[in-house]
A and B are shown apart, each in its own frame.
Chain A
């Protein structure tokens, strides 16, 4: 069966042809152009001369920009860490929920995927701003407490336009990316292995760290990767929720293409970001090779 499918070359060509052409035309070609730009310089206001210079890359790793790269990596790592800390128990809970509850819980996790990112971010703004729901809630509690003891006027918390808001927003947006691969790894795990661990006298914590986590490692690795990469390139969240000091690399790149009108430099930084992503994927692939498949 499989053999005969492989031999049906015409079918494959017909099925693969259009998407390949599409990819080449609208993905690879523009990418190549941007890549070429990264070795050029502005020649007048609209012209870009491709001179083969590495100057843009040299500039991209100047301390000023390197710091932003590092900061973006740090923010993405923190986001990933928080997503893992929150996502693992959630994924575990879904795994052990009844079949009916499982469907609903997974739906709840996926629901944000189907809502526009911009809308979700503005919703978060509505929650966090000075007259937002969190502050309203605090004010209500404050006034309630004031009945018993004079506390003075309520000072709203500054929850928006700072790094806290960016991290919170990134965690909120990327949590599903973490939960789904974790869930699929945990769900595939042979439950009798956990029972065997308990049966041999281990407690739940030991079972978690000696059996569940090691066997879910491939899922954890892909969860980390799949969260870290988009978090590293996050643009909208730091733009809308962040303050002046919370810009990430994508915001800087955007500025080069728009306000600064320095496409060659923007292109160089884009490719540095892409290379970083490749490195992350390579590390994950190496790790995945080392961990054995979870088999019963």
Chain B
């Protein structure tokens, strides 16, 4: 693994009695595209602002390249920020905006002009340097903010909800561009977002925050498939949670018994760290298969004993989303289970209808077991 570039050591930030960031310890490595993900108000911006130097940690310290920067003012830190509002200076031209940080650094005029032009090309604003910011669209203004920060060649680029103000189509496009940009410049990016799709699509690693506390730090894949808690499972994507107890816990398999389900949930692996008490089985909607119910014999996917991992229910709700459809299926206990099904063909061979009784089943490896 490459070397650490930023380290948060037990960092807390309180505003009066309100704890915005609570005992966060985190290491970010060189070249990462790191994403801070969490609902609005969970302290993401505050964490970023402490890194940029606009807030001081109440407790703990922050290291950049092993140096404690707690007492370094923002203008001396080797990080640059792309503000949520872009904060492009309205009174000077695009080129002067980009040149601002270089003038401060006393870069010679010739080199400055070259680097400004280069940076504008990089964000595809070549030739627009003479324009005033109010002659640009929102997306273009954001590129100015990006160029202005990147031209300083910071160790780390901080982005606060960079895509939130763009419309859906542009957001999609900027996502890809940000990714390419990061690969091209090789600078460590730290991006704050409340949009899970954005975080999963862009980041090499994600931190999920809730109420100032780091819930989990992992790759997008691990976050989705191996969530550490109910909060993470629920926040990232959609999930069916079944509370229950561990009836069997062997190294090779385990069984969860939930009052919400008429059958046991069979797992093809043991559960580590369980201390008795409640556990939760989390099953993603796309990992549940929908089968026509002809006869009373439950379908079996072959990796679980008969009488487990399959339950009958009635389709109560259907939403056609184009690429897939989601169903809500009510089972005997009254619980509604979310199921997602890809629309693999243009004419669906198995047309599931509202009110139809169906079988739901899943593989023994599909449920994730959560202890909190």
A residues with a Cβ closer than 8 A to B are 190, 192-193, 195-203, 206, 210-211, 214-215, 291-296
Q: Is the CB of A199 within 8 A of B75?
A: yes
Q: Is the CB of B85 within 8 A of A190?
A: yes
Report the minimal beta-carbon distance from A43 to chain B, rounded to whole angstroms: 59
Which of chain B's residues has its CB closest to A295's CB? B90
Identify which of A196, A202, A294 contacts B87 (C-beta below 8 A): A196
Q: Is the CB of A206 within 8 A of B89?
A: no
Bound together, the chains give a CA A206 to CA B100 distance in angstroms of 11
Q: Is B104's CB within 8 Å of the partner chain A?
A: yes
Report the minimal beta-carbon distance from B180 to chain A, rounded to whole angstroms: 24
Residues of A within 8 A of B3 (CB): none
Q: Is the CB of A200 within 8 A of B100?
A: yes
Q: Is B316's CB within 8 Å of the partner chain A?
A: no
Q: Is B132's CB within 8 Å of the partner chain A?
A: yes
21 example contacts (A-B, Cβ-Cβ < 8 A) are as follows: A192-B83, A192-B85, A193-B90, A195-B87, A196-B81, A196-B148, A198-B73, A199-B81, A200-B101, A201-B75, A201-B101, A203-B75, A210-B100, A211-B89, A292-B134, A293-B90, A294-B91, A295-B90, A295-B134, A296-B85, A296-B88
Known contacts A192-B85, A199-B80, A294 near B90 by CB under 8 Å: yes
B residues with a Cβ closer than 8 A to A are 52-54, 73-76, 80-81, 83-91, 100-101, 104-105, 132-134, 145, 148-149, 152
Q: Is the CB of B104 within 8 A of A202?
A: yes
Known contacts A195-B83, A198-B73, A201-B75, A215 near B100 by CB under 8 Å: no
Bound together, the chains give a CA A52 to CA B337 distance in angstroms of 96
Bound together, the chains give a CA A201 to CA B152 distance in angstroms of 9
Tally the A-B contacts, defined by beta carbons under 8 Å.
Answer: 78
Residues of B within 8 A of A211 (CB): 89
Q: Is the CB of B86 within 8 A of A296?
A: yes
Q: Is the CB of B90 within 8 A of A199?
A: no
Report the minimal beta-carbon distance from B99 to chain A, rounded to whole angstroms: 10
Q: Is the CB of B90 within 8 A of A296?
A: yes
Q: Is the CB of B54 within 8 A of A196?
A: no
Among B88, B90, B105: residue with most chain A CB under 10 A: B90
Identify which of B54, B88, B105 contacts A201 (C-beta below 8 A): B105
Report the minimal beta-carbon distance from B115 to chain A, rounded to whole angstroms: 13
Bound together, the chains give a CA A202 to CA B80 distance in angstroms of 12
Bound together, the chains give a CA A291 to CA B134 distance in angstroms of 13
Known contacts A195-B54, A195-B83, A296-B85, A202 near B90 by CB under 8 Å: no
Residues of B within 8 A of A192 (CB): 83-85, 87
Q: Is the CB of B91 within 8 A of A215?
A: yes
Residues of B within 8 A of A190 (CB): 85, 87
Q: Is the CB of B91 within 8 A of A292?
A: yes
Which of chain B's residues has its CB closest to A217's CB? B91
Which of chain B's residues has its CB closest to A204's CB? B75
Q: A200-B148, A292-B132, A296-B88 are in contact. List 4 more A-B contacts (CB 8 A).
A: A196-B81, A200-B80, A200-B149, A215-B91
